[in-house]
């Protein structure tokens, strides 16, 4: 090989390239948001030519949507299984919390990406993806209605409950680098809780908060 020539590009099949771009895009969007992330940086992290983003996704917007869709599809499958179950409302709600915990634990960068999107007012979410997010809320709303009908839950505002669950989980996983920094510096004089511990704590708090009280039964 001529010493001045460039080495031949490393071969990578189409599926591997697509997966590398999804992973790279997720990390970059989580770190800098949609507007602050150039395609060149995504491609460099994935070790591919930036033209591959257009080839596989039709551009940066298409890659962004594909990342959202991959996580949403995973979530929708599990929520569909949850709605089809014969569990009582308390068990379904506990599993709802676990599912959202698993969503963010499997890809912690997604929590930060989603939080940035929400803080932007959802500027990069089209009507289809907004409708899918509303569908996630509809699941918890139906569980709450079921619990009230079973006599185990007191009536509560469904959106407030949904935001308490999902907002708490997003913030917990999105803020993990900050907690780790505090822990390394010795500023947090407690053991660092795991994701599973946080989910269990949230389940306990939500169930206690929703439990129907004696005064509710006579109201």
> From the first residue on, what is the mean pLDDT of each consecutive set of 10 residues in the chain (219 residues)?
45 85 96 95 95 96 97 95 96 95 89 93 94 94 96 95 93 90 85 91 96 68
- For the chain, what are the domain ranges? 68-217
pLDDT at 128: 94
pLDDT at 46: 95
- What whole-number distance in Å separates Cα of residue 137 and Cα of residue 212? 22
The fold adopted by the segment(s) 68-217 is Tetracycline Repressor; domain 2 (1.10.357)
- What whole-number distance in Å separates Cα of residue 114 and Cα of residue 124? 11
Sequence-distant (≥ 6) Cβ neighbours of residue 160 within 8 angstroms = none
Sequence-distant (≥ 6) Cβ neighbours of residue 190 within 8 angstroms = none
The Cβ of residue 67 has, within 10 Å, a number of other Cβ atoms equal to 22
């Amino acid at each position: 090989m001529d010493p001045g020539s460039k080495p031949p590009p490393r071969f990578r099949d189409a599926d591997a390239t697509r997966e590398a771009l999804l992973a790279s895009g997720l990390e970059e969007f989580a770190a800098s948001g949609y507007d602050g992330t150039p395609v060149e940086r995504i491609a460099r992290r994935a070790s591919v030519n930036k033209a591959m983003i257009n080839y596989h996704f039709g551009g940066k917007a298409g890659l962004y949507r594909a990342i959202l869709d991959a996580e949403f599809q995973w979530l929708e499958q599990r929520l569909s299984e949850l709605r089809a179950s014969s569990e009582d409302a308390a068990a379904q709600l506990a599993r709802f919390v676990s599912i959202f915990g698993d969503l963010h634990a499997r890809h912690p960068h997604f929590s930060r990406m989603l939080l940035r999107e929400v803080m932007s007012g959802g500027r990069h979410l089209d009507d289809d993806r907004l409708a899918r997010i509303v569908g996630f809320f509809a699941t918890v709303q139906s569980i709450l209605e079921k619990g009230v009908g079973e006599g185990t839950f007191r009536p509560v505002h469904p959106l407030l409950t949904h935001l308490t669950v999902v907002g708490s989980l997003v913030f917990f996983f999105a803020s993990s680098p900050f907690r780790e920094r505090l822990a390394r510096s010795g500023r947090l004089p407690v053991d660092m809780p795991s994701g599973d511990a946080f989910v269990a704590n949230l389940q306990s708090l939500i169930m206690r908060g929703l439990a129907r009280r004696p005064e509710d039964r006579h109201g």
